[in-house]
Amino acid sequence: MKRRDFLRYSIALGLATHYGWATATPHMHHSEMMQPNMGGIGTMQSADLPLMPQSAMPSGQPLSPLVQLANQSDQSAVFEANLEAKVVEIELAGGKKTEVWAYNGQLPGPQIVVNEGDTVRIHFKNSLPQPTTIHWHGLAVPEAQDGNPQDEVLPGQTRLYEFKIAENSAGTYWYHPHPHGLVAEQVYMGLAGSLIIKSKTDPFAHLQEQHWLISDLRLDQDGRIPPNTLSDWINGREGEFVLINAQLTPQISLNGNQRLRIWNATSARYFRLHLPNVEWIVVGTDGGLLEEPLSAGDELFLVPGQRLEVIPRISQNGTATLISRYYNRRKMMVREAPTTLTLAKVELTQADVALPQRLRTFAALPPVAVKRTVVFRERMPSGMNGDTASMLQNMFLVNDQVFDMKRIDFEGKQGETEEWLLFNSSHMDHPFHIHGTQFELISRTLNGETRQEPYRAKRDILNLKPMEKAVIRFVQSEKGLKMFHCHILEHETLGMMAMLHVK
């Protein structure tokens, strides 16, 4: 073992020994916690909690489509609906009722489908015991509508989210909470939903669609969703039940005449999706279609928050098993044996689909007006004195600082092209996310080797391996505050986040 790895594990194990494990308590209002707005750090769960066995959850049922949110407007080009974040009890496993936090009482939250150019009006009610927001992940919307942590909706309150869908923004998006210090808890309790923007000139409009929203869930033996462990806070929470559309190992029928949209809606789990006899043809990323189809071979790599649109090129009819191969993201405090996850049983049917050589054309970005550097770093405590919460809240840094809602980290200008050098100066993977725009990846550098990105794509999530650098470029079309952060939700919650103010 390298010396830096030995020190890393020694410090982490020392923390676990010194701080121990706190007793679990029910979810509390944030004002009752040891640390305000920190989503249960003061109610940390023991790592040896007995969990619900996999066999206790019903499995193998036909995949259910995601339930769409009904449009209540009778006006053309207007989507209007109600969303309520509330506490409900659902029987998930073992014949026991589980308290979940869900949009409109559904897991996952209802799917929103709109068109380019539409005006969206969401009447939102917060019936949770905590403040919350709705963040429209990946969309360019005005600051006041983005669900920023500065704009919390308090328990019992309502508010209207209203914004216009930009032209040329068709793609696969999602929505989830974004109150600072509470994001991780609210998402693992169930708050997330999908959002699709339809194009007026979609080259795949004639294809059937299938949607896989992948999430994960932890249940204790009594059917409760327990708080995070110390390891969860440090590495990101990975629930033991991995679900597609809230179902465990569903039966799926997939044919080559379908467009498949996939969401990684987990807090921290990485996927390497493999399906025998299938070549994945990627046609879209976070921000919509690529310029041309791209073969990903037999594996799709998705990090937390990321989305893909693919066409399955099936070489043989029959039944196959969808798996996720192991990915080592270099967790601390954990030495795990490589494991393969079984996600679904899939009935494959061949079909010939003629793919257009050109899917869309990206306009050239204006010349770069400003260059910045963003560094993700982990700071290990110098000693074993102090409390666990304070240690965690000073561990994950952006440009050597933890998030402060009163601090502006960068000042930018509307419509200007920015070039950012992203550097993961740490020893685990971190997925970078920025609000309000889609960026283009220009190059990556790892182990002294720089590789230019061979194709153009719109993204809002980019994984950074340890010691990896990446160059991205983007334009912010809306004024206001734009968060950028690690999308491992525990790291974001602990302050691995900063702010760009666009004027």
**pLDDT at position 12, please?**
43
**pLDDT at position 17, please?**
40
Sign of the CA dihedral running 223, 229, 233, 238: negative
**pLDDT at position 334, please?**
80
Report, as an integer, the average pLDDT of 231-250. Answer: 97
* pLDDT-wise least confident of 80-84, 111-115, 383-387: 383-387
**pLDDT at position 42, please?**
56
Q: Which are the contacts of 31, defined by CB distance < 8 A and separation ≥ 6?
A: none
- Domain count of the chain? 3
292 within some domain:
yes
Give the whole-angstrom CA distance, residue 210 versus residue 62: 13
Give the whole-angstrom CA distance, residue 273 versus residue 342: 10
Q: Report whether pLDDT(10) > 90.
A: no
**pLDDT at position 80, please?**
99
Residue 81 domain boundaries: 56-198
**pLDDT at position 21, please?**
35
166 within some domain:
yes
Are 235 and 184 in the same domain? no
Q: For residue 156, give the CATH number of its domain.
A: 2.60.40.420
Among 142, 164, 198, the domain boundary falls at 198
Report, as an integer, the average pLDDT of 346-366. Answer: 94
Give the whole-angstrom CA distance, residue 334 versus residue 258: 39
Give the whole-angstrom CA distance, residue 444 versus residue 465: 10
Cross-strand pairs, 335:
none
Q: Report whether pLDDT(2) > 80.
A: no
Among 147, 178, 198, the domain boundary falls at 198
Are 191 and 216 in the same domain? no
Are 276 and 376 in the same domain? no
Helices (H), ranges, 133-246: 183-188, 230-235
Strands (E), 94-167: 96-103, 109-115, 119-127, 135-137, 158-164
Return the percentage of the chain with pLDDT > 70, whole number. 89
Q: Do 169 and 140 touch, CB atoms closer than 8 A?
A: yes
Give the whole-angstrom CA distance, residue 492 versus residue 183: 8
Are 239 and 340 in the same domain? yes
**pLDDT at position 352, please?**
85
15 within some domain:
no
* pLDDT-wise least confident of 6-10, 137-141, 248-252: 6-10
7 within some domain:
no
**pLDDT at position 46, please?**
67
**Where residue 389 falls among pLDDT bands split at 50, 70, 90?**
confident
Are 179 and 219 in the same domain? no
Are 483 and 379 in the same domain? yes
Are 334 and 418 in the same domain? no
**pLDDT at position 16, please?**
44
pLDDT tens for each residue of 282-337: 999 999 999 999 999 999 999 999 999 999 999 999 999 999 999 999 998 788 88
46 within some domain:
no
pLDDT tens for each residue of 426-460: 999 999 999 999 999 999 999 999 999 999 999 99
Give the whole-angstrom CA distance, residue 393 versus residue 399: 15
Q: Report whether pLDDT(11) > 80.
A: no
Are 107 and 231 in the same domain? no
Helix H or strand E segment including 441: strand 440-446
pLDDT tens for each residue of 489-499: 999 999 999 99
Are 183 and 78 in the same domain? yes
Q: Do 117 and 77 touch, CB atoms closer than 8 A?
A: yes
Give the whole-angstrom CA distance, residue 481 versus residue 478: 9
Give the whole-angstrom CA distance, residue 237 versus residue 240: 10
Are 337 and 276 in the same domain? yes
Q: Report whether pLDDT(180) > 90.
A: yes
Name the nearest CA neighbour of 168 among 416, 361, 433.
361
Give the whole-angstrom CA distance, residue 125 versus residue 108: 17
Kind of pairing, strands 171-176 and 135-137? antiparallel
User: Mean of the per-residue pLDDT values for the chain?
Assistant: 91
**pLDDT at position 40, please?**
56
**pLDDT at position 41, please?**
60
Report, as an integer, the average pLDDT of 36-42. Answer: 53
Are 96 and 124 in the same domain? yes
**pLDDT at position 48, please?**
79
Q: Which are the contacts of 76, defined by CB distance < 8 A and separation ≥ 6?
A: none
6 within some domain:
no
40 within some domain:
no
**pLDDT at position 377, please?**
97
Helices (H), ranges, 144-255: 183-188, 230-235
Give the whole-angstrom CA distance, residue 286 versus residue 263: 9
Return the percentage of the chain with pLDDT > 90, whole number. 85
Q: What are phi and psi of 396, to 5 degrees?
A: -115, 120
358 within some domain:
no
Among 198, 225, 253, the domain boundary falls at 198
Cross-strand pairs, 80:
121
Q: Do 241 and 190 touch, CB atoms closer than 8 A?
A: no
Are 379 and 484 in the same domain? yes
* pLDDT-wise least confident of 26-30, 104-108, 136-140, 235-239: 26-30
**pLDDT at position 3, please?**
36
Q: What are phi and psi of 4, to 5 degrees?
A: -65, -35
Q: Which are the contacts of 337, defined by CB distance < 8 A and separation ≥ 6?
A: none
